[in-house]
Amino acid sequence: MANSQLFVDRLSRAWDNDDAVFPLDQRLPAPARQQILDLVKPTIMATVEGDTRVDGQPVENGDAVVVATSGTSGIQKAAVLTMSAVEASARATSERLNVMLRDTWLACLPPSHVGGLSVITRSLVMGTSLIPVPSFSPESFEQAARDGATLVSLVSTALQRIDPTLFRTIVLGGSRQASQLPANCITTYGLTETGSGVVYNGTALRGVEIEIRDSIVYIKAPMLLRAYRDGSVPVDSNGWFRTGDRGSLSDNGVLQIEGREGDLIITGGENVWPEVVEDALRDFESISDLCVAGVPDKEWGHAVHVWVVTTASSKPSLDALRGHVKQTLPAHCAPRNVHFVAEIPRTALGKPQRSLLVESLKKS
């Protein structure tokens, strides 16, 4: 069932029956689809043809949605969010965005990811109008604007393809954002486990508490997950969730995210954040996309590697890339190896899947 009014109506009917909904990613190949279904254990399969009962595991009373994590680490999980958590997220985000009943959301991100699903659940909870489309395209974006859409959630790659002035507010999530954004864009930080974005433009939403412990971001909020589908609970007895992201808080409470804990590259005893190296290389001529990750190395512990998608027939040399990085960053940040690829594997929300690139080197 594609993202459509049919999907929205089926989700709403499930809630009327006190059921929870797990949106299955339509793009998954059969083996990956079965793997996530084995993890989620649904009891009803709802398709355009109708419902089919299957042997699964019921949810608990009050559960509203089950959402697969983005899988950037390669470890698949499924977060269970209660109706109270979904409602808390809808109210807090709508308050921050000054959403009115006359507003209309465009839902164009995959509902299998929390960033796309939350647009739909937010509209259902708050009673705002909604225009769902199967997938993002500049044409559907422009048509939605003509049909009265005023709010949309996008990722950075989509932002580059549209006229941002067509909407009152654009909410940006997913991958690391560009430094220069249109005035009507609001950047968000959140995870599947936080029920979508809980920090807007660096500032926590109402009811969201943030602590930094040993450089790791901890969050306490009413929109946190109840548990994972396997029954494990990542929230401690005091209600705090360890995000696994490294970050810092300014004196006035603005959150700055450095990167995922597991993405940090320690090379020769020096810390290197891949996002920082990526930013240094984005303006390199002929590079259309790239990703940086650490690869085990006997001499350095981990070595900085870069995967590059180039627009030119001639490929840039490693020396040229290293020299470009060293113009703005210390020498230990410069990549020690470069790999040219046709594309960078990313999640639906634009996050690079570094683990897949590193794993590909073992197979080559």
The pLDDT tens digits of the residues spanning 247-272 come to: 999 999 999 998 888 888 999 888 89
Give the CB-side neighbour count of residue 93, counting CA atoms within 13 A: 36
* pTM for the whole structure: 0.83
The rounded radius of gyration (Å) of the Cα atoms in the chain is: 21
How is residue 254 written in tokens? Answer: 């603005």
Q: In degrees rounded to 5, what are phi and psi of residue 228? A: -85, 165
* pLDDT-derived band at 70, boundaries 50, 70, 90: low
Start-to-end Cα distance in the chain: 37
What is the layout of strands, in order, in the sheet containing 209-213?
209-213, 216-220, 241-249, 255-260
Least confident of 167-181, 211-225, 306-320: 167-181
Handedness of CA 316, 319, 320, 321 (dihedral sign): positive
Three-state SS annotation for 205-217: CCCCEEEEECCEE
What is the layout of strands, in order, in the sheet containing 78-82?
63-68, 78-82, 227-228
Beta bridge partners of residue 209, listed in sequence order:
220
User: Is 70 exceeded by the pLDDT of residue 234?
Assistant: yes
The 10 Å Cβ neighbour count of residue 24 is 18
State the helix-helix crossing angle for 114-126 and 83-97, rounded to 10 degrees. Answer: 80
User: Is 80 exceeded by the pLDDT of residue 311?
Assistant: yes
The DSSP annotation for 230-291 comes to TS---B-TTS-EEEEEEEEE-TT--EEEEEEGGG-EEETTEEE-HHHHHHHHTTSTTEEEEE
Mean pLDDT of the chain: 92
Domains of the chain and CATH, by start: 5-258 (3.40.50.12780), 264-363 (3.30.300.30)
pLDDT at 174: 64
pLDDT at 71: 55
Cβ partners under 8 Å of residue 217, min gap 6:
210, 211, 243, 245, 246, 247, 255, 257
pLDDT at 176: 58
